[in-house]
Structure 1
Amino acid sequence: MLGFRQMPWSSAQEQEQAPSEQLCEGVSAVVAARQGMEKPLTAVAEAFEELARGMEADGGELRLAPFSDSCALVSVLFSSLGMAFRFAEIEYVTKVNDLIGAGKSYRTLSDILDKDIQNDCVKKQGSHSRNLRRVRLGLGLIKALFEQFLDTEGTLYDAATIAYGQVCAPFHSWAIRKAVGAGMYTLPTREQLIVRLNETDFSVQKEMRRYIDASSPIIEYIDNLFLSRNISLDW
């Protein structure tokens, strides 16, 4: 759902088992260690604000380990959206786990991209750079969803449909877009999502805006990493 061209729908057994199998690795460890996850949206907003400050302190470099840890927390937001985003969650968690592992060998996001350029495998399935691109799409999808949630009085279905159309649909086949569209009908209501995030009508707006503002420079930085190396973003 985050940009892969294979069909994201799998068997019912895989739907039930895949996330738990993936979450038993690096992502779940980060989530478990983070304080305040009883309010996941607040925890994510705080993490990305801290990440943005760290990037500024490091002279514009984004270190891989704290980036991966912050991204791991976003998996809880995907989970709160239910089955409609189940497959995005599975794909996202897998890619973040890879980046968490890469953080043991590489210091910055630039390091992994430069290494993959050297090895001519930036767009190769399973490369760290490809996984970084997919994680960036995940961050962008949540950001766009929150923007639509805040800017309209419509349903969560409306917000998610527009966000998906902006961020992920351009990379998907007609069959996948149709399947994702059908899955959107299983989204919770706006009120149910607020309850799942343990927020109020007022606080959810504040925390969503915090994530939008903090994630924007991170997303822009990642895009510029690729563009500055003459790597397009249309994949």
Structure 2
Amino acid sequence: MGEEKPLKKMAEAFTELANAINSQSPNGGEARLDLGPFSRACSFVSPLFRCLGIAFKFAELDYVAKVDDLVEASKSISTIPVMMDGDIEAKCVQRAGSHTRNLLRVKRGIDMVKVLFEHMIASDGNSLKDPASKAYVQVFAPYHGWAIRKAVGAGMYALPTKAQLLKKLNEDETSARIQMQNFIVSAGPVILYVDQLFMSRELGIDW
């Protein structure tokens, strides 16, 4: 990964998204977040899934493919609400491969990383098994069948240690904690924003 710092890029990109959301909706109106910056920010999370190894290979493949779809969509669609409303009009929201369905899956990936970071910061020791297992159970497991859950459980034993992960990400303990905390704070409003878009259109978020 050279001298790149994926955690810093993630945190900075999501801080910009959170600021854009907060600056647009002071009176509670719906913010119209641009799809381009959103999809780019989400793409910065992909290297983290790769660094987690086999346990999250399913997440990496699924997440990267769906982010790529949103990046491509951003070339012709301006904002996330416009994208969703287009799918609603075309009656394809829940169809496999629809932009809106992919958005929901990408949001879930962001949420998983946020929860993982929360558990990493709260835990002592060098093992990622407990933080990663808790994050998986909390975010992904409810939507996965037995076979995927079993495969992920087995893969947890092949996770890198926290020290190995930070080395791959070109971070030390102190700098990583700062960037993870920044991501947690900024990802929260973005996740909430996407959830509210689904709820306000009566689409739900559990499919």
TM-score bracket for the superposition, by shorter chain length: over 0.9
Q: CA separation in 1, counterparts of 2:9 and 2:202? A: 35
**Residue 184 of structure 1, CA deviation:** 1.2
Letter in 2 for 1:126: G
TM-aligned CA distance change 1:37 to 1:102, over 3 Å: farther
1:47 corresponding residue in structure 2: 13
1:123 corresponding residue in structure 2: 94
Alignment partner of 1:146 is 2:117: yes
Q: Percent of aligned positions with the same letter in both sequences?
A: 50
Q: CA separation in 1, counterparts of 2:18 and 2:59? A: 24
2:106 corresponding residue in structure 1: 135
- SS at structure 2 position matched to 1:81: helix
Query: What CA deviation, in whole Å up to 9, does each residue of 1:96-124 have, x standing for no partner?
Result: 11001111121111111111111111110
Count of aligned pairs: 201
Q: Which moved more, 1:45-54 or 1:159-168?
A: 45-54
2:190 corresponding residue in structure 1: 218
Q: CA separation in 1, counterparts of 2:85 and 2:37? A: 19
2:161 corresponding residue in structure 1: 189
Letter in 2 for 1:54: A
Choose which of 34, 38, 42 in structure 1 pairs with 2:4.
Answer: 38
Query: Conserved in 1, the CA contact under 8 Å of 2:3 and 2:170?
Result: no
Letter in 2 for 1:141: M
**Residue 173 of structure 1, CA deviation:** 0.9
**Residue 37 of structure 1, CA deviation:** 6.6
Letter in 1 for 2:44: L
Query: What CA deviation, in whole Å up to 9, does each residue of 1:34-93 have, x standing for no partner?
Result: xx9711101110111112222334442211000001111110111111222122111111
1:4 corresponding residue in structure 2: none
Choose which of 41, 45, 49 in structure 2 pairs with 1:70.
Answer: 41
Choose which of 142, 149, 158 in structure 1 pairs with 2:130.
Answer: 158
TM-aligned CA distance change 1:222 to 1:131, over 3 Å: same
Q: TM-score, normalised by structure 2?
A: 0.93
Letter in 1 for 2:48: L
1:83 corresponding residue in structure 2: 54
Point out 4+ residue stretches in structure 1 off by more than 6 angstroms. Answer: none
- SS at structure 1 position matched to 2:45: helix
Q: CA separation in 2, counterparts of 1:96 and 1:194? A: 24
Choose which of 67, 80, 84 in structure 2 pairs with 1:96.
Answer: 67
Query: Conserved in 2, the CA contact under 8 Å of 1:37 and 1:43?
Result: no
Letter in 2 for 1:164: Y
Q: CA separation in 2, counterparts of 1:54 and 1:233? A: 23
Q: CA separation in 2, counterparts of 1:45 and 1:187? A: 23
- SS at structure 1 position matched to 2:4: coil
TM-aligned CA distance change 1:229 to 1:37, over 3 Å: farther
TM-aligned CA distance change 1:37 to 1:89, over 3 Å: farther
Query: Conserved in 2, the CA contact under 8 Å of 1:83 and 1:187?
Result: yes
Q: TM-score, normalised by structure 1?
A: 0.82
Q: CA separation in 1, counterparts of 2:101 and 2:3? A: 29
